[in-house]
Structure 1
Amino acid sequence: MWIHSFAQGVHLSQHYHPQRDFHSFANPEQIRVEHLDLTLGIDFEQQRLQGRVRLMLDYVAQDSRCLWLDCRDLAISAVYDSKARPLDWQLCQFSEVLGQGMQISLKEASPWIEIEYQTSPSAQGLQWLSPAQTLGGELPFLFSQSQPINARSWIPLQDTPKARISFSARVMAPEGMQVVMSALNLGQRGADGAFSFEMDKPIPTHLLAIAVGDIARQEIGPRSAVFAEPGMLAAAAKEFEDIEQMMQVAENLLGPYRWQRYDMLILPPSFPFGGMENPCLAFLTPTLIAGDKSLVATVAHELAHSWTGNLVSNATWRDLWLNEGFTTYFTNRIVEAVYGTEQAQLELMIEYGRLQEEMASTLRSQQTLPANLQRSDPNLAFNRFTYDKASMFVHFLERRIGRERFDRALREYLAHFAFQAITTEDFVAYAEQHLLSAFADCLSKAELMEWIYGSGLPQSFVAPSTSSLLKVDDALASWLNGQPALSLDVAKWRVQHWQYFFSRLPECLSQAQLMELDDSFGFSDSGNCEIACDWFRVAIRNNYDPVLPALGAFLARIGRAKFVRPLYLELQLAGYQQELGDIYRLARPGYHPSLQVQLDRILAWG
């Protein structure tokens, strides 16, 4: 093994090209990995995976004999071809964002190669939890988070969404522990003690997922089950019991469900996202279990990804809006069908509010649908333009074309690109051929281009509205005019009403006003993380010190980036440097490695 420079290792030009994945060293245009066969042993004591992976190769360029893979912090011990001959390989210089490219020289067009390796305890795509960090407190826990480019930290592979793969796996785990993956989970050990998995459909590599721990299972529908630690299983099953109804609504809207089962794994609180749409086994945060189904829109969102993101995926992280924007729109449609128009309108209003907030703090040139990332951290693509502006674009298309005709066009779009990865330009070409030609009476190319490539919101944008929020405006006005908070009629408010309430509060509030709100409604002790987070942000910016103990406990207990990042930033902006350091020092070990990296950078830690 030897290491050469980044400039030599990256075989791509500096010039922008829409087909280029700036976040991968891989060369699937020459040699494409089409299937991987994975064997893993799990060592909780050393916090490592001992791995062997066989990569099945498709020679797109018949004479190519140089294979490029992505890896990060992997200890490679050997590389062999299909004739068991050792192959020469080398790593390029380490990049903070990309990890390393691995160049393998092939002697001939071998149908497969095999790599023996082990992961690092600090692998960004894996989190190892001690028994004390789990609900049960007796067994350790491991889970992965491969999105966006962390699969390369636990498997050497072509870690780019444009190179979709199928996979099989055999995983050895300690006695008494269950292994699950983003494949059909039969939940049984084989005679050799290994768990076996098969995903026969091609998926993007960021959907590779594994979890190991004290995991129980409960069926909640004809094709769905909940997996969770035993102590959380009953509550999770109750919270997500409407999943079959959601699936039927989604199929009526988007076409047949192509993945056979939709199971869900409720992870420990350090999981950094609300959900992750891994095929056959969505990963979900326990912060969704509010006891009243008020936050199940995230489940609808991950389900909708089964079509937009899993069936049709983004080719590069610049094109993430094709996943998240359409999925956010479909989420709203599922919520409308299952929980009613008012709930859907409320969530759309909250979505618009989030977008307005981010627009106010973002350079206008960055407010486009395709993200201008180049070699920047691909995590930056996960912003409100990718989700909410893109969703507003899809709502615009629906209004212009008409729901019935638009639904038909959406099903045709998903069928056309099924099991493919596409770029923004692929979508534009498709829209020109199929949407603009079919709906020329109500949609123009100029409008299409302004929405996709233009900054901010275009002239054709119509802001969402709902009369359901008028009662919040009235209650807030009454309170600001002196009516006691306890006498406000809030009994039938949903979480979205409270979110809107917090967003409409004056920037500056007195200590007495903040104390009255907290005493009246118990915000600091709320079991709903959306409410707690929004309240803490209001309290921090007004230097309301009594919330600091509850805030510290919240940040030590919850690892979801959606809540954690803004709260640390609020502390930073409000001048709580000492308190921030004390809280982060205590809470950091419980966060996912990928979130630790992001927060260390934001907070200039270390």
Structure 2
Amino acid sequence: MTNSFDVEKDYHSSANTDALCVHHLDIALTVDFSTQQLSGSVTLFFNRKRAQSVLIIDGRDLFIDQVTDLNGQPLDYDCEDVNPTLGQRWLIEVGMLNTQVVVHYHTSPKAQGLQWLNAQQTLGKQLPYLFSQSQPINARSWLPLQDSPKARVTFNATIKVPLGLRAVMSANNNPIMPEDGIFTFSMDKPIPTHLLAIAVGDLAFKETGPRSGIYTESGMLEAAVNEFEDTESMLLVAESLLGPYAWSRYDMIVLPPSFPFGGMENPMLAFMTPTLIAGDKSLVSTVAHELAHSWTGNLVSNATWRDLWLNEGFTTYFTNRIVEAVYGKEQAELEWVIEFGRLQEEMQSMPLIDQTLPANVQHRDPNLAFNRFTYDKASMFVHELESRLGRAAFDAFLIRYVNHFAFTAITTEMFVDYAKQTLLVEHGDKITINELSEWIYGQGLPAWFVGPTSTSFDKVDLALAQFISGTAASELCVKQWRVHHWQYFLSKLPLIVSQAMLLDLDEVFSFTGHHNAEIACDWYRVAIRNLFDPVLPALTKYLCKIGRGKFVRPLFIELQIAGYHLELKAIYTQARPSYHPSLQVQLDSLLHFDDIKTDI
């Protein structure tokens, strides 16, 4: 495969990791809610791979006050702007002998990797809240570092917070509160920089098992513990598939609704959205997904954001295996079919050049790598490998693959080379190099691929056909439907549905304002598409309450396409302040707010 770019290069970092590569951080920070800033220092420990006197690190909207050696002697440094997405590169004169530098700095209130919430924006309404989101390249907005998946680091941290608040990080967390507001952390295993995470708030803790527990505001704790009580069972299943869990504990923190993702796999402290707490465990596959990342993503990582599919595709597949073992084959099949449906939908709108497993983002915003192809097409590829080889043989390959690349960052081409040496040698009668290449580098899905099906959806297809042909919603048989049945029903409705039919559905099934965020989002998309105005008040409330990008982005796009320009402006102006800064930047660009005069 011929490429017109360097497949080894991380195009989203200025760091010179090929010469001087940072491997450890000593972090000392004070959290100041009054100024919405972190201030302090980080000591960068680096290895010398080749002779060079300048250490290059990444930053965005950072204020560096001083750089010194370990003895406190000032070092010369300079800053160069790259672009608004990548931020700045800081060039530090370290000489030919130093292997550590100390950077004294403070963050900007505009840091895209940090969200500061005042007390009124929290559940308890008493104390403020802070949380980070470093993926993909936002760690550089709150830490001066080599912000590349290639620069895996260990770290120690000392974090000072106002009394009464708790700090937690992607490291070992001690449930016992210190009296002086100073928290210490240690991560002794090298992690990619996008997994560096911090949260500070009025947090309570409760165990869900011998190796797992939940941090969240006290008003949400019991509901979260009940929803995620199967975590230990998931851990045992994951270990049976992929080998021993390497990270000691698997704690989670349920964040405020403005957290922009369903979950984030920060090691030892996975971040979760409260939209997963549906009361019936119907959405806990996200817990399984973040847990599976403990092997594929945290142990074996993407070397660049082009290679994100190696994280997300294998993890999405493993999620399905965990769900099957814990909740049964029907549930796993339902989720797999819904996953395939999401992929088919995105295939209709995504340019063909972006329908490969490696993400075509070398010179673009790395957030664009997070699409249905790096997740769901990649998962379909892994499912097909299992089908071709047989589950037992494939599981043996996976364990060897994870162990071979543990604690390293790999490119797509490194995976292909490994597959040539193992998979294609041992199972060359079941899959060829051409088929492997077509899956990875080909656009769309291979012509021979047959998507997943589930007989569990037959009853939904019947009800859907009856409704379209004129049967009243109240006469449809929907007993024992799960969330995924409803998602499938809504996704398969015709593009054009009459106002009377929408009103009938809503009156019978109460979709508007539904407590399940997934069902509500799918319903609002159908309603917006068909100009069903009765949903607008509830839609506004939904978009102002929930900041999860998976829900927010498609709904604003639907409003834009449907011609709700005034409503879009009003809703976004109201909702934007509650969104995470990284999501604000994405939506500002996506919705072309430079061209729409607003007061945001």
TM-score, normalization by structure 1: 0.97
Q: Does 1:56 align with 2:70?
A: no
Greater mean deviation of Cα atoms: 459-468 or 208-217: 459-468
CA–CA distance in structure 2, aligned partners of residues 188 and 57 of structure 1: 33
Post-superposition CA distance 1:504-535 (Å, at most 9, x none): 10111111111111110000121100000000
C-alpha distance in 1, partners of 2:179/2:587?
44
Amino acid at match of 2:467: W
CA contact (8 A) 2:66 2:103 kept: yes
Is the counterpart of residue 28 in structure 1 residue 23 in structure 2? no
- Tell whether the 8 Å contact from 1:312 to 1:418 is kept in structure 2 after alignment: yes
* Deviations 1:552-577, CA, capped at 9 Å, x for gaps: 00000000000000000000000000
Contact 2:17 2:146 in 1 (8 A): yes
Equivalent residue for 1:421, pick from 409, 419, 422: 409
The alpha carbon displacement at 1:193 in A equals 3.8
Return the alpha-carbon distance in structure 2 between the equivalents of residues 514 and 228 of structure 1. 38
Instruction: Provide the rounded CA distance (Å) in 1 between the counterparts of 2:248 and 2:528.
Output: 46
Q: Choose which of 491, 498, 512 in structure 2 pairs with 1:524.
A: 512
Map 1:197-208 to 2 at 5 A: 197-208=185-196
Please name the residue that 1:281 is paired with.
269
- Equivalent residue number for residue 443 of structure 1: 431
Q: Which residue of 2 aligns with 1:433?
A: 421
My pick for the range that moved more, 89-98 or 438-447, is 89-98
Per-residue CA distance 1:103-125 (angstroms, 9 max, x = gap): 11113321210000000001000
**Contact kept? 1:97, 1:375, Cα under 8 Å:** no
Moved more, 182-191 or 311-320: 182-191
Q: Which is worse superposed, 564-573 or 107-116?
A: 107-116
Distance between the aligned counterparts of 1:89 and 1:340, measured in 2?
Answer: 58
The counterpart of 1:514, out of the listed 491, 499, 502, is: 502
- For each residue in 1:107-151, what CA deviation from the matched residue of structure 2 results, as whole angstroms up to 9, or x when unmatched? 332121000000000100000001111100010100000000000
| Paired residues of 1:447 and 1:460 also in contact (CA < 8 A) | no
Aligned to 2:588: 600
2:240 corresponds to:
252
**3-state DSSP class of the match of 1:524?**
coil
Distance 1:385 1:432 in 2: 23
Deviates more, 1:324-333 or 1:186-195: 186-195
Correspondence for 1:46 among 21, 28, 35 = 35
Is 1:189–1:196's contact at 8 Å kept on the other side of the alignment?
no
Match of 1:486 in 2: 474
RMSD: 1.1
8 Å Cα contact 1:373-1:380 kept in structure 2: yes
Q: Distance in 1 between matches of 2:82 and 2:8?
A: 24
Identity %: 62
Match of 1:8 in 2: none
Q: For the Cα contact (< 8 Å) 1:180–1:187, is it kept in 2?
A: no
Asked whether the 8 Å contact 1:126–1:593 carries over to 2, the reply is: yes
Matched residue SS, 2:67: strand
Shift of residue 192, structure 1, vs aligned partner: 5.4
1:98 match: 86
Q: Which amino acid aligns with 2:458?
A: L
Is the CA contact (8 Å cut-off) linking 1:208 and 1:278 kept in structure 2? yes
Deviation at 1:282, TM superposition (A): 0.2
Contact 1:320/1:386 (8 A) holds in 2: yes
- For structure 1, list consecutive stretches of 5 or more residues without a partner in the other structure: 1-13
Q: CA deviation at 1:501?
A: 0.4
- CA apart distance, 1:83: 2.9
Within-5 A mapping of 1:125-524:
125-190=113-178, 193-524=181-512
List alignment gaps of at least 5 residues for structure 2.
595-600
8 Å contact 1:82–1:111 — kept in the other structure? no
The DSSP-based 3-state class of the residue aligned with 1:523 is coil
Q: 2: CA distance between counterparts of 1:477 and 1:355?
A: 23
Q: CA deviation at 1:269?
A: 0.1
Given the alignment of the two structures, is residue 585 of structure 1 paired with residue 573 of structure 2, yes or no? yes
Give yes or no for the alignment of 1:76 onto 2:51.
no
The Cα of 1:372 is off from its aligned counterpart by: 1.0
Query: Relative to structure 1, is the Cα distance of residues 196 and 209 closer, same or farther in structure 2, using a 3 angstrom cutoff?
Result: same
The 10-residue stretch of structure 1 (325-334 or 484-493) with the greater mean CA deviation from structure 2: 484-493
Q: Distance in 1 between matches of 2:151 and 2:106?
A: 23
Aligned length, in residue pairs: 592
What amino acid is aligned across from residue 40 of structure 1 in structure 2? L
For residues 486 and 294 of structure 1, the distance between their equivalents in structure 2, rounded to whole angstroms, comes to: 24
